[in-house]
Amino acid sequence: MPDSSEQPTRTSTSDSDWWRQAVVYQVYPRSFADQNGDGIGDLRGVTSRVGYLADLGVDAVWLSPFYPSALADGGYDVDDYRDVDPRLGTLEDFDAMVAALHGAGIKVIVDIVPNHTSDRHAWFRKALDKGPVSEARERYVFREGRGPDGAEPPSDWKSMFGGPAWERVADGQWYLHLFAPEQPDLNWDNPKVHEEFRDILRFWGDRGVDGFRVDVAHGLAKDLSEPLAAAADLHEGLALRGEHPLWDRDDVHDIYREWRRVFEEYDPPLAAVAEAWVHPTRRGRYADPEGLGQAFNFDLLQAPWSAPDFREIIKRNLDDVQQTGTSSTWVLSNHDVVRHATRYGLEGSGRAAAEAWLAAGGRPEQVDRKRGVRRARAATLLILALPGCSYLYQGEELGLHEVGDLPDEARTDPTWFRSGHTHKGRDGCRVPLPWTSHPPSYGFGTDGAHLPQPDWFAAASVQAQRDTEGSTLEMYRQALRLRRRLQGPEELTWEEQTADVVHFARPGGWHCVTNLGTTTVHLSDGEVLLSSGPLDGRQLPPDTTAWLSAT
Ligand code: NOJ
């Protein structure tokens, strides 16, 4: 095997294209590393782990919200877009973190939440103070209620977290919140909102960030004309292709064209990636170079463990990116879904199977944990070999499982509360990371952790896996190093394969073969550079990926 400890130079693309084939590591700051011992991760914690991230070999870090927040939705309820939550640090800590990451050659992407503020945001407080018919209310979506005394919500719209999407205020008006009531939706028909967000983008651009992850990018533009349209189920919007009153409306792209002009004020231009849960045929609009430039593709994250499904998704996405000239994106886990090591350990493997398992109690004994990690590793090597950008979620490099059986009293996710305790929510993938094998908090901080960590975190910890041959952490380290060396133009050639195998080659003769079937597959010529699990000579076992050099 070639020596993968050697540090090849970072991506060969010109600086303004750094994002096209980057490996971006998502940090969920409250659960990453706690430097001040209050049980909540913080920015100094991130700074203290820059060495780890550099050694892992990531190109960029995407930081989930770190802004002041009451945490009604894990920080996606922002009180002030130009500050740091005092529990997480200060703006000076932010600058020091960016400097340390940049010093290690790692770019920084921050999360921006433009669909809604928090209900503690100065704008919303003013909107309540000033009362109906005020300019302050025009920044949000306030309406009179229906019925003789206005006691019925203005429409039947449902919140994504359950329950009505409208909340009544003391003077009788109602405001729209597509997520929690603590997240009032902004009114993007108001030029003041546009102005404010352009300014916020510049605030972080001037502080040196390299780009943005745009939350609910498909939700900003809404049809609010009277009478309000019926929208029985917000989830149906994904299939409606631009005809939904709330999701994925064509005029949302006018906003991103404005943002692009702001991005281009910087050299290199700021990058952006859209979180847009839209029909795959509509994703490209968000990734347009005149708009945000890149969009998450969540297709593999939702797919079952099946070679035909994987092949179809990869082909379609690579075709789609040809249309706009963006690069493709690959995601297996993030802070909103059951971790992929657990998904692949469940019968059915897809996102739906994972949601059902969670709803039924998320019990670890119902997961084939070994198979889950085996498949997770194979899937990871597969996406890392694809042309385009890979987004990794903190802890997946440890093969971490979902903590599905958190005690109910520990749960904090609004879905748990607003679904009448039927949907367990997303806390199980947000449990603070295990850095060492010892309680309390497995090296996350000096004391406790804000969500309870299970005993099995000891064996999954960084300490247990670092320098341990065959560990998932070592596989990620080797893969990221090799990928940097092997990465070439964003091209892929499909190789002849049987039904259960995904086999493609990249320029320079880098081959990736994944066996998603149940019987062993013979590997043809080429040196094995890396594999996600042990090989039997040149036999590739089920649930395994191998990278090979030119055949
Ligand atoms: C998407 C974020 O990823 C999720 O965590 C959040 O709850 C919603 N947007 C609302 O901001």
The Cα-based distances of 497 to 274, 277, 303 in angstroms read: 34, 32, 20
Q: What per-residue confidence (pLDDT) applies to 9?
A: 40
Identify the three-state secondary structure at position 522.
strand
Q: What per-residue confidence (pLDDT) applies to 198?
A: 98
334 secondary structure, DSSP code: -
d(CA 524, CA 541): 14
Averaged over successive runs of 10 residues, the pLDDT of the chain (551 residues) comes to 39 76 98 97 98 98 98 97 98 98 98 98 98 96 96 93 94 97 98 98 98 97 90 59 84 97 97 94 94 96 94 96 94 97 88 88 94 98 98 98 95 91 93 96 95 97 97 98 96 94 96 97 94 96 96 59
- Bridge partners, residue 174, by sequence: 143, 168
Structure-block tokens of residue 256: 């991103």
Q: What per-residue confidence (pLDDT) applies to 229?
A: 85
Ligand 1 lined by 73 (C-beta under 6 Å): yes
Tokens 């094998």 locate to 437
30, 76, 331, best to mutate for ligand 1 pocket (most atoms within 8 Å of CB): 76
d(CA 512, CA 213): 29
Ligand 1 lined by 77 (C-beta under 6 Å): no
Q: What share of the chain is helix, strand, coil (3-state, %, to 5)?
A: 35, 15, 55
d(CA 350, CA 343): 6
Q: What per-residue confidence (pLDDT) applies to 234?
A: 61
Q: What per-residue confidence (pLDDT) applies to 497?
A: 86
Residues in the chain: 551
Tokens 């039927």 locate to 422
| Cα of 363 vs its chain's centroid, Å | 24
Identify the three-state secondary structure at position 39.
coil
Going from the Cα of 550 to the center of ligand 1, the distance in angstroms, rounded, reads: 42
Q: What per-residue confidence (pLDDT) applies to 5?
A: 40
Nearest to 111 by CA among 85, 86, 144, 75: 75
Going from the Cα of 336 to the center of ligand 1, the distance in angstroms, rounded, reads: 7
Indicate the angle between helix axes 191-206 and 252-263, nearest 10 degrees.
30
Q: What per-residue confidence (pLDDT) applies to 350?
A: 77
